[in-house]
Amino acid sequence: MDGATIKSSAHIKAEPGWAGAAIAYAALAALAVLLTWPTLPDMARTWFGSSYYHHGIFVAPAALWMILAHARRPEGDAGANAGLLMIVAGAALWLVGRAGGAAIIEQVAFVTILIGGVGALFGERVLRAWAWPLAFLYFMVPAGESLLPALQFATAKLVVGALSLFGFDIVVDGVVIRTRVGAFAIAEACAGLNVLIAAIMVSAVFAYVSFKSLSRRLAFILFAAVFAIVANAIRAFFLILIPVLVGEQADIGPNHYIVGWVLYLFVLIALAMIGRRFADRPVTRDAGAGASRVRAVPMAIAAGYLAVGAAYANMVIDRSVIRAAPATLSLLNAPGWRILPPPQHWRATVPQADRRVGATYDSAGTQVHVSLSYFTHDRRGAEIAGSANAGSQDWDLIGGHDAVVYLFGTSERRRFSRLSGPEGQKYLSLTTYWLAGDVYFSARDLKLAQARLKLRGENPEGGVMTFAAPYAKDPADAARAIGRFTADVEKFSAWRARLARR
C-alpha cells in the first residue's frame, strides 16, 4: 500500500460521518426548541387540538423518510454560509413574529431555523440535495384557516352551479343556499380545508418520489388542490341534493362525517393512482458516496445567533409591563344618539380583554350596537388582534360588504362582515383596533405597528372596537346606519382622554 492510500484511509477513518453530523444537528435542533420556547409546544397543541392540523404530527417523520429512502447523500462540503444565513433570517423573523404577536410568523421562522441548521452542519450541497424534503417541513406550521372564507364561497358557487344544472329553484346569500325545503349553510366544517391540506401534503410526498422535474411536481400538487376542492364541492352537493329530492330536511349530522371520511379516502387513493400513472422517477434511492463532517465553528455561530435572539426577546420584547386597567370603560359619546342596553343575542367575542363594555345607540329608530374592549398591553394569551377575538359568539360569517364610512377623522372604503345569527338574524359588523393614540382598520396593520413598538421595548395599551347593525335584505342599509353613527361619534382622542382619567 503506498503513502497516498495510507493518507486517504486515515482521513476517512477520522471522519465522524453522517451519524456524528446527525447527533450534532439533533443537539442544535433541541437548542432551537429551548431558545424559541414556546413556539414548538404551541404548534403541537394546535396539531392535537384542531382537526384541521392533525397532519402536523406526521410531517417530520415523512420528511425524514423522504431523505433516508429517496434523497441523494452528496459528500459534505465546507460551505456553511447558506445555512447560517437561513438561521440568521429565521431568528430575525422569529423576533418580528414574537413582537407582533403573530404565532404563524414565529412558527415559520422556527422551521426556517431547523432547515438552516442542515445547511450549517451538513453543508450547502446537502442543503440543495435535500431541498424538497426540508421545504416539506413547513407543513408543520398550522396555517390555512385564513382560506376558510374563500373555500366556503368557492364550494357554495360550485354547489349552486350544480343545483342550477338540475333545474332547482335556489336563492343564494353568501354561503347560505336556500331551497324549497329550507336553507343550507356552507359552514367552515364544510369548506374542505382538511381535505385540501391532506391532498396537498400527500401529493407533495408523492410528487417527490415519483417525478424528476420541478415543473411536473408542482403541476401535480396544483392538480391535487383543485381535485380536492372539486371533490369537496361534490360532497356538499349530494348532502344538499338528497334532502331536496326527498322533499324535507333531515338530520345529516352522522352522514356528514361518514361522507367526509369516505371523501378523504377517495381523494388520497385517486391521487395515488393518477400519480402512479404519470410517474417518471425510479422508486429506489439515488445514494451518493461520501460522508458529512461535523462543523464545530458553524454550530457555535448558529447557537450564538439563537441565544442572542432569545435574550433580546426576553429582555426587550417580553419584558413585564405593570399597568392597571381603568375601573370602568367609558362608552363613546355620539350627539343625537340615545344609549340603551346592549343586545342580548349579539356581542363581539373578545374574551381575553382586561375590560369590556357594550351598548346600543338609537337615533330615530336606527340602532347600532357598539362593543368596546380594553387591553392594558398586548401579551401572549391576551393578544389585541388575536384569533380568539375574531367574530361573534354563535354567529357565522356568511359574506362581506364594502362601503365608505367616516370614522375618527378618515373617510375610506371599509370591509364589513356579514353575519348570520342562530335564529336567522342578519348583522353587518365593522371591527377596528387601536394602539396608544392610533386607530387601525385591520389586524395586519395593528400587528405591524406592534412589532415596530415592541422591538423598541414599547408595549402600549390598546383595544378593539366593533360596530354592528341589523338588516333584513340589503346589507347596505346596515352600512348606512353604521356610517351615520360613526360620523356623529366623538374624536378618538377625546375618548382616550376620558379613559385616562379613569
Residue 80 has pLDDT above 90, yes or no: no
3-class DSSP state of 53:
coil
3-class DSSP state of 434:
strand
**Per-residue pLDDT, 225:** 92
Q: 79: pLDDT confidence band, cut at 50, 70 and 90?
A: confident
Question: pLDDT tens digit string along 163-197?
Answer: 888 888 788 887 888 887 777 888 887 888 988 99
**Pairing label, strands 426-435, 338-340:** unpaired
Question: pLDDT tens digit string along 10-49?
Answer: 333 434 467 777 888 999 999 999 999 999 999 999 999 8
φ and ψ at residue 116, rounded to 5 degrees: -60, -35
**Per-residue pLDDT, 6:** 38
Residue 291 has pLDDT above 80, yes or no: no
**Per-residue pLDDT, 281:** 63
Which among 479, 273, 234 is positioned nearest to 368, based on CA atoms? 479
Q: 248: pLDDT confidence band, cut at 50, 70 and 90?
A: low
Q: 282: pLDDT confidence band, cut at 50, 70 and 90?
A: low
300 or 267, which is more confident: 300
Residue 256 has pLDDT above 60, yes or no: no
Alpha helices (runs of H) in 17-102, residue ranges in sequence order: 17-35, 39-49, 56-70, 81-100
C-alpha cell read off for 3:
503513502
Q: What is the mean pLDDT of the chain?
A: 84
Residue 285 has pLDDT above 70, yes or no: no
Residue 446 has pLDDT above 90, yes or no: yes
CB hemisphere CA count around 132 (13 angstroms): 25
How distant, in Å, are the alpha carbons of 12, 87, 88, 294, 401 from that of 80? 21, 11, 12, 11, 51
Question: pLDDT tens digit string along 374-431?
Answer: 999 998 888 898 766 555 667 888 888 999 999 888 888 999 999 888 777 899 999 9
Return the sign of the alpha-carbon dihedral for residues 321, 327, 329, 334.
Answer: negative
Label residues 373-394 b or e (16+ Cβ within 10 Å = b).
bbbbbbeeebbbbbeebbbbee
**Per-residue pLDDT, 349:** 78
CB hemisphere CA count around 355 (13 angstroms): 18
Which among 153, 162, 150, 147 is positioned nearest to 186, based on CA atoms? 153
90-94, 108-112, 234-238, 332-336: lowest mean pLDDT where?
A: 234-238
Query: Quick check: pTM over 0.95?
Result: no
How many degrees, rounded to 5, is the angle at CA 109 between CA 107 and CA 113? 115
Average pLDDT for residues 219-240, to the nearest whole number? Answer: 88
Our CA dihedral for 450, 451, 453, 455, rounded to 10 degrees, sits at 150
Tell the residue number behind the cell numbers 350544480, with chain if given. Answer: 162
